[in-house]
Chains A and B, each alone.
Chain A
Amino acid sequence: MRVRVDATRCQGHNRCHALAPELFDVDEMGNARERGDGTVPPGLEDSARLAIANCPEYAVWIVEDAS
């Protein structure tokens, strides 16, 4: 499982970073992006789903692995 922040939709509500700091970071403007390539380590799947379910802008997505 991988997560991705759509930078064109993110408005800096900071919900994903607050709920899953292991998966999301924020820049100096307060806008979010996924850490690394967005891979969700085992055990953090629920955090990822919470981050997605709390973004008011629908800016956080799950990217299905191609493999």
Chain B
Amino acid sequence: MTGTRDWATDFDHADPAYNANAHAIWADLRGRCPVAHSSAYGGTWLPVRHDDVRAIAYDTDHFSSEGVVVSTTKAEGTAPYGGAPPITADPPAHHDARRILLPAFAPKVVAALEPGVRALCRGLLDRMGDASVVDGAVDYAQHIPPHVIAGMLGFPQADAERFRGFVHDVLEGIDRTPEDREAAFLHLDAYLRDQIDEHLARPREDLTSQLLATEVDGVPVSRQQVHGTILLLLIAGIDTTWSGIGSALWHLAAHPADLARLVAEPALIDRAIEELLRAYAPVTMARIVKQEAVVGGCTMKPRDWVLLPFPAANRDPAAFERADEVILDRAENRHAAFGLGIHRCVGSNLARLEMKVAVQEFVARFPEFVLADPSAVTWSVGQVRGPRRLPIRIARRA
């Protein structure tokens, strides 16, 4: 059920069939063609073996992060920081671009956000009332990250729903014309410009004001760099975590034994979240080839796109025992859901917190639930994979 395309030579991750059938596609490619290629987007490679994904993630000499969204627009000449540092920065600029962001996402800082995330989740569950069918993506998961990031950045909570539109344009509208993509970016840039102006005029206790006041070695960080960094936080923290939460709920709805086990053994939650992150890692990253490189016998030329499917690496049987099975209490789990190497997701502690609390609260409220209609589930398109429609029938309430 992988459609009529030959995914080894003609894949397109904007085709809805790609994410809908991702696990089967990756398993097929892993067996016969560990590095797929497509002429889409000016030439794009897709390695699916853990070792190849890992090697590229560590190789910043041959692979640049200047472009990380494979689409009709390919960044050029934006070094050293790129449009959304630190994710778009290569060494050595990457180091300082990342350093200004890390303290806000350190484990102890993020842990303090837990009560707020829990209250948000409970409020969303309250809003569902007595409905017998709820949408785990539309009514729940998609609301959680935008409100959390709006709170951190000090942006109006009322704007949280708009953020999803920005994210959709950047990450799902990958096959629109370059002109359409540029227009969408202008829209987002105008919004960020207004927010930054507002914070410069009235500084306050939030991450935006903090970044605007940051100095590195006595030199203020430029407004342009702060703008790009905030753009990253707004785009990278929303549909990724929403997808992680949605996929976790999808799995539990489709696997009653795992749901029952999690309800019976709530202490399993941490290992369960790690395992669900491994099995349903939402994020595929990308690189632009900087210097010719050979991966899996394929010669990659400068300016080629390379997709880095961490979710495929996480299901490689060469790297994980029983890789295609979800084992909620898997003890050894070196999964790469948040990337590997210097670009490890800066928000990983926050994403984990949101996923854990969202799943805990949903399961506590609804200890039994199933997919209301498996054929009604839809998946995102592009490099972030997760359910976008997820009708769930509530079988029992706490």
Contact = CB atoms under 8 A, between A and B. Distances in A.
B352 to A, nearest CB: 8
A63 interface: no
A27 B331 CA distance: 25
A13 B338 contact: yes
Contacts of A28: 102-103, 106
Contacts of B108: 26
Interface in B258-279: 270, 274
A12 B106 CA distance: 9
8 contacts: A12-B344, A18-B107, A26-B106, A26-B107, A28-B106, A29-B106, A53-B334, A56-B340
B342 A11 contact: yes
Nearest to A17: B107
B360 interface: no
A47 to B, nearest CB: 12
**Of residues A18, A28, A53, A56, which shows the largest number of chain B Cβ atoms within 10 Å of its Cβ?**
A56
Interface string A45-67: 00000100111111000000000
Given A26-B108, A29-B106, 8 more contacts: A13-B338, A13-B348, A18-B270, A30-B107, A50-B332, A53-B333, A54-B334, A58-B334
A39 interface: no
A14 B336 contact: no
Q: Is the interface of B mostly helix, strand, loop or mixed?
A: helix
B341 interface: yes
Q: Is the interface of A mostly helix, strand, loop or mixed?
A: loop
Contacts of B342: 11
B334 A14 contact: no
Interface in B330-385: 331-336, 338, 340-342, 344, 348-349
Contacts of A58: 334
Contacts of B335: 56
Interface of A: 11-14, 17-18, 26-30, 50, 53-58
Contacts of B185: none
A53 B106 contact: no
Interface of B: 99, 102-103, 105-108, 270, 274, 331-336, 338, 340-342, 344, 348-349
**Of residues A13, A17, A27, A29, which shows the largest number of chain B Cβ atoms within 10 Å of its Cβ?**
A13
B102 A54 contact: no
Contacts of A57: 340-341
Contacts of B102: 12, 28-30
Nearest to A21: B107
Contacts of B336: 56
Contacts of B334: 53-56, 58
B332 A11 contact: no
A33 to B, nearest CB: 13
- Smallest CB-CB A-B distances: 10 pairs: A53-B332, A11-B344, A30-B106, A29-B102, A56-B334, A28-B103, A14-B107, A26-B107, A30-B102, A54-B333
Contacts of A11: 340-342, 344
A57 B103 CA distance: 20
Contact of B349 (A30, A50, A53, A55): A30
Contacts of A53: 331-334
Contacts of A17: 107
Contacts of A55: 334
**Of residues A17, A26, A29, which shows the largest number of chain B Cβ atoms within 10 Å of its Cβ?**
A29
Contacts of B106: 26-30
**Of residues A17, A30, A54, which shows the largest number of chain B Cβ atoms within 10 Å of its Cβ?**
A30
B351 to A, nearest CB: 11
B237 to A, nearest CB: 16
A16 to B, nearest CB: 11
A17 B270 CA distance: 13
Nearest to A19: B270
Contacts of B348: 12-14
